[in-house]
Amino acid sequence: MRVLGDAYHGVRRRVTDLVSAAGADAVLRVAPATPDWTVKDNLAHLVGITADIVDGNLDGVGTDPWTAVQVEARRTHDLAELLAEWDTHASAVEAMVDQFGRAGCQLVTDAATHEHDIRGAFERPGARDSDAVQIGFDFVGTALGASLDAAGIGGLRVEHDAGITTFGANDPTSTLRTTRFEFLRATTGRRSPAQVAAYDWNGGTPPEGLVLGLFTARAEPLDD
What average pLDDT does range 126-150 have in this prediction? 97
Instruction: Judge whether residue 1 has pLDDT over 80.
Output: no
Cβ neighbours around 78 below 10 Å, total: 12
The predicted model gives 8-31 an average pLDDT of 98
Return the pLDDT at 206: 66
Task: Return all residues near 171 (Cβ < 8 A) that are at least 6 apart.
Answer: 154, 155
- Confidence at residue 55, expressed as pLDDT on a 0 to 100 scale: 96
Q: Tell whether the torsion through CA atoms of 102, 103, 108 and 110 is positive or negative.
A: positive
Structural fold of domain 131-210: Nonspecific Lipid-transfer Protein; Chain A (3.30.1050)
- pTM for the predicted model, two decimal places: 0.96
Query: Is-contact 157 175, C-beta < 8 A?
Result: yes
Residue range(s) in the chain whose domain bears CATH number 3.30.1050.20: 131-210
In this prediction, residues 177-189 reach a mean pLDDT of 98
Question: What is the arithmetic mean of pLDDT over 194-205?
Answer: 88
State percent of the chain over pLDDT 70.
99
Going 45 to 47 to 50 to 54, the CA torsion angle's sign is: negative
Q: State pLDDT tens for residues 71-107.
A: 999 999 999 999 999 999 999 999 999 999 999 999 9
Average pLDDT, the chain: 95
Residue 207 has pLDDT above 70, yes or no: no
Q: Which residues contact 163 (CB under 8 A, 6 or more apart)?
A: none
Kindly state the average pLDDT of the residues 218-222.
94
